[in-house]
């Protein structure tokens, strides 16, 4: 059975192919069309997934789409009537947009299957079912509490429930405009960042401020009721009116003037970011406490855009009653393509669960022959190394910043060791150097460490594994001066743990660096510059290498050095 999973209604358009329950390929359209967070129909991603799977359109049995446009339609209409002054904006946002997306889908469908009755059956799956239940079906847990939180999907903003084998039970939902995602988008805009794009910048800014300055006020904005549902004091906001200006005058009267893009941060910007971040964590922990009491499950599956807040996830691991959490590597809307396919396969068609999504490397891979062809066509000088991890670890030991391009591309927003920029975290000035000369981004932005699993508790206070870099922990105090370039201002780090099974080449690189320096930890950030998607192909890697301050490019078994290296 071949299922094509699609996300294209929202941002981060993505396609995936599963065959008999196994995830064969999953690719975000942005990696191929080079438009970050693209919303276009994922035609290139579909074609690439089919190519990787070595099948054609005629082989597809089912299509699973991560939205059901008519879901909660009555709630949308009631909201539109309530906010009648913005009815035209509301209609454009909720009806015209959906209609155009539907027309685009069926136009594409007819290009490949002229007879709808003979083509693959199409299933429109409610958005939050593609988040939490869809993630559960590929988690390592036979039973778990389920939590999905985002801005909004068919009007739902959170979904909580319980999963056991193939059975999903809903406990409660929250609905727009009572949204933790929109709450956090508002402070992101207040801090001068782009909403639904730069929320990670807000999370990184928060440790620079004092949460206690505004925490008591922010805490009154959100209430979690006895069903685990979210309630927002909307007097601070405009987003409920479909306004791109998310904050109301009361917000500015309470918290001060917003930062304009490009301006310096003032103390109150950092303090507000800190308070919103802390309250978000506290409120999600309240939901987790409710969910644990309701289910008594040992484990939690969390998904949706808010679940990419790795600081929050770290607190759930440390402070909730759950033993561990599973966060899909593409936990945002990109992962709903995978979630839709598995909700169909396991939840609707009731096929036995036979796949665990612990391998994020499900994109395109390139052979050494393909890589060398790209290098030759670019008329570049390069050297082949049989033991590429030994050469790369020596470059890192010397303080070189390298572009590391290996194997199949990761799915999700985090570079996990196949499309990464790497450096030695022992150099105190490395963070500032990479921010200024390589990534061209704000100086305060932290970088993440990757370490081999065996060394995790030597450097960090995390007791569980963190293979997808989505659980923030603390760097042990005695180790903060040892790895300063990956220790944030508050002593935290967004850790990735690496095993030989998960990524043998990356594991060997980190281990060899440890053998040479005594520190088996690398600084790992995504192989791109600010505003661009992560590199996908050797040509992308070459172009990025020559557009910034990287010292070396390690692509397959080939190494390129710049003149000053």
Q: Within 10 A of 503 (CB to CB), how many other CB atoms are there?
A: 24
Q: Are 522 and 422 contacting, i.e. CB atoms less than 8 angstroms apart?
A: yes
Within a domain: 18 = yes
In a domain, 208, yes or no: yes
Dihedral pair phi/psi, residue 236, rounded to 5°: -90, -10
Pair of tokens at residue 20: 């008999």
- Give the SS3 label for residue 83: coil
Structure tokens at 50: 């089919």
**Any domain includes 353:** no
Query: In a 3-state reduction of DSSP, which class is residue 126?
Result: coil
| Last-in-domain residue among 100, 128, 156 | 128
Closest CA to 342 of 64, 146, 1: 64
Q: Is there a domain that residue 342 lies in?
A: no
What is the DSSP track for 457-515? HHHB---S--TTS-EEEEB-GGGTTTSGGG--TTSEEEEEEE-TTT-HHHHHHHHHHHH
The answer on 386 and 502 residing in a single domain is yes
- pLDDT tens for residues 371-384? 999 999 999 999 99
11 and 74 co-located in one domain: yes
* CATH code assigned at 214: 3.30.420.40
* 21: number of Cβ within 10 Å: 19
Specify whether 170 is located in the same domain as 313. Answer: yes
Same-domain status, 379 and 429: yes
Q: Which residues pair with 121 in a beta bridge?
A: 62
pLDDT by residue, tens only, the chain of 565 residues:
999 999 998 889 999 999 999 999 999 999 999 999 999 999 999 999 999 999 999 999 999 999 998 887 788 777 777 765 667 777 777 778 788 888 999 999 999 998 878 899 999 999 999 999 999 999 999 999 999 999 998 899 999 999 999 999 999 999 999 999 999 999 999 999 999 889 999 999 999 999 999 999 999 999 999 999 999 999 999 999 888 899 999 999 999 999 998 899 999 999 999 999 999 999 999 999 999 999 999 999 999 999 999 999 999 999 999 999 999 999 999 999 999 999 999 999 999 999 999 999 999 999 999 999 999 999 999 999 999 999 999 999 999 999 999 999 999 999 999 999 999 999 999 999 999 999 999 999 999 999 999 999 999 999 999 999 999 999 999 999 999 999 999 999 999 999 999 999 999 999 999 999 999 999 999 999 989 999 999 999 999 999 999 999 999 999 999 976 5
CATH of the domain at 517: 3.90.870.20
Cα–Cα nearest to 337, from 363, 314, 312, 316: 363
Q: Which two tokens stand for residue 379?
A: 């008329």
Question: Among 128, 160, 189, which residue terminates a domain?
Answer: 128
Is 56 exposed, middle or buried (CB count within 10 Å of its CB: 0-12, 13-18, 19+)? Answer: exposed
The confidence score (pLDDT) of residue 178 equals: 97
Distance CA 423, CA 406 (A): 16
What is the CB neighbour count within 10 angstroms for residue 212?
11
Q: Which residues contact 92 (CB under 8 A, 6 or more apart)?
A: none
355 within some domain: no
- Domain-ending residue, one of 299, 327, 355: 327
Helix axes 310-319, 267-295, angle to 10 degrees: 40
pLDDT (0 to 100) of residue 77:
77
H or E segment and range at residue 173? strand 167-175
106 and 151 housed in the same domain: no
The per-residue pLDDT for 115 is 82
Q: What is the sign, positive or negative, of the torsion defined by CA atoms of 112, 117, 120, 122?
A: positive
Decide: 537 and 364 in contact? Cβ < 8 Å.
yes
Residues 470 and 501 in one domain: yes
Contacts of residues 529-534 at CB distance under 8 Å and 24 or more positions apart, as own/partner, are 529/438, 529/439, 529/440, 530/439, 530/440, 530/441, 531/36, 532/34, 532/36, 533/28, 533/30, 533/31, 533/34, 533/35, 533/36, 534/31, 534/409, 534/410, 534/415, 534/419
Phi, psi (deg, nearest 5) at residue 277: -65, -45
Q: Which pTM value belongs to this model?
A: 0.96
Q: Residue 362: inside a domain, yes or no?
A: no
Q: What is the token pair recorded at 445?
A: 């932005």
Assess whether 418 and 297 both reside in one domain: no
DSSP assignment, residue 122?
A: E
CB of 307 closer than 8 Å to CB of 153: no
Q: Are residues 120 and 247 in the same domain?
A: no
SS3 content of the chain, % helix, strand, coil (to 5): 40, 20, 40
Q: What is the pLDDT of residue 85?
A: 64
CATH for 80: 3.30.420
Pair (410, 467) in one structural domain:
yes
Same domain, 98 and 9: yes
Residue 454: domain span: 368-561
Answer yes or no: do 219 and 316 share one domain: yes
Q: What 3-state class would DSSP assign to 130?
A: helix
Number of domains in the chain: 3
The answer to whether position 97 is within a domain reads yes
Asked, for residue 234, whether it belongs to a domain, the answer is yes
> CA dist 397 to 199, 224, 404, 487, 527, Å?
33, 50, 15, 19, 20
- Specify whether 385 is located in the same domain as 320: no
- Per-residue DSSP letters for 284-308? HHHHHHHHHHHH--SEEEEESGGGG
């Amino acid at each position: 059975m071949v299922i094509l999973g699609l996300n294209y209604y929202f941002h981060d358009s993505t396609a995936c192919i599963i065959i008999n329950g196994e995830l064969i390929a999953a690719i975000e359209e942005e990696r191929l069309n080079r438009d970050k967070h693209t919303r276009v129909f994922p035609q290139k991603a579909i074609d690439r997934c089919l190519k990787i799977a070595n099948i054609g359109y005629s082989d597809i049995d089912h299509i699973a789409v991560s939205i059901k446009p008519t879901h909660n339609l009555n709630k949308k209409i009631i909201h539109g009537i309530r906010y009648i002054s913005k009815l035209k904006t509301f209609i454009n946002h909720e009806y015209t947009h959906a209609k155009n997306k539907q027309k685009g889908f069926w136009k594409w469908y007819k290009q490949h299957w002229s007879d709808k009755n003979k083509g693959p059956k199409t299933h429109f799956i409610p958005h939050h079912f593609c988040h939490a239940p869809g993630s559960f079906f590929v988690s390592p847990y036979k039973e778990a509490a389920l939590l999905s939180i985002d801005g909004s999907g068919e009007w739902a903003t959170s979904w909580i429930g319980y999963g056991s084998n193939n059975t999903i039970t809903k406990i409660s939902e929250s609905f727009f405009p009572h949204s933790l995602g929109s709450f956090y988008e508002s402070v992101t805009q207040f801090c001068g960042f782009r909403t639904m794009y730069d929320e990670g910048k807000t999370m990184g800014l928060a440790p620079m401020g004092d949460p206690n300055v505004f925490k008591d006020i922010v805490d009154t904005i959100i209430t979690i009721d006895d069903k685990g549902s979210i309630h927002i004091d909307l007097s601070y906001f405009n987003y409920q009116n479909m306004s791109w200006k998310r904050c109301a005058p009361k917000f500015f009267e309470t918290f001060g003037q917003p930062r304009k893009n490009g301006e310096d941060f003032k103390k109150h910007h950092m303090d507000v970011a800190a308070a919103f971040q802390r309250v978000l964590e506290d409120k999600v922990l309240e939901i987790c406490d409710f969910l644990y009491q309701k289910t008594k499950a040992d484990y939690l599956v969390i998904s949706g855009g808010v679940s990419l807040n790795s600081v929050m996830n770290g607190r759930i691991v440390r402070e909730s009653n759950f033993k561990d959490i599973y966060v899909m590597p593409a936990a945002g809307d990109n992962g709903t393509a995978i979630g839709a396919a598995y909700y169909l396969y396991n939840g609707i068609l009731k096929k036995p669960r036979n796949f665990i999504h612990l391998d994020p490397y499900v994109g395109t891979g390139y052979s050494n022959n393909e890589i060398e062809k790209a290098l030759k066509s670019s008329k570049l000088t390069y050297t082949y190394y049989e033991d590429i991890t030994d050469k790369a670890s020596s470059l890192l030991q010397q303080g070189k910043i390298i572009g590391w391009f290996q194997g199949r591309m990761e799915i999700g927003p985090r570079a996990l060791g196949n499309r990464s920029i790497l450096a030695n975290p022992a150099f105190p000035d490395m963070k500032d150097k990479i921010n200024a000369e390589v990534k061209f981004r704000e100086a305060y932005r932290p970088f993440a460490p990757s370490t081999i699993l065996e060394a995790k508790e030597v450097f960090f206070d995390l007791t569980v594994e963190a293979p997808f870099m989505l659980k923030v922990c603390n760097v042990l105090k005695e180790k903060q001066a040892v790895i300063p370039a990956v220790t944030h201002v508050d002593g935290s780090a967004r850790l990735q743990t690496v095993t030989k099974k998960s990524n043998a080449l990356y594991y060997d690189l980190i281990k060899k660096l440890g053998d040479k320096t005594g520190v088996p930890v690398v600084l790992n950030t995504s192989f791109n510059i600010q505003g661009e998607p992560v590199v996908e192909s050797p040509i992308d890697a070459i172009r990025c290498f020559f557009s910034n301050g990287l010292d070396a490019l390690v692509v397959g078994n080939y190494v390129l050095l710049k003149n000053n290296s």
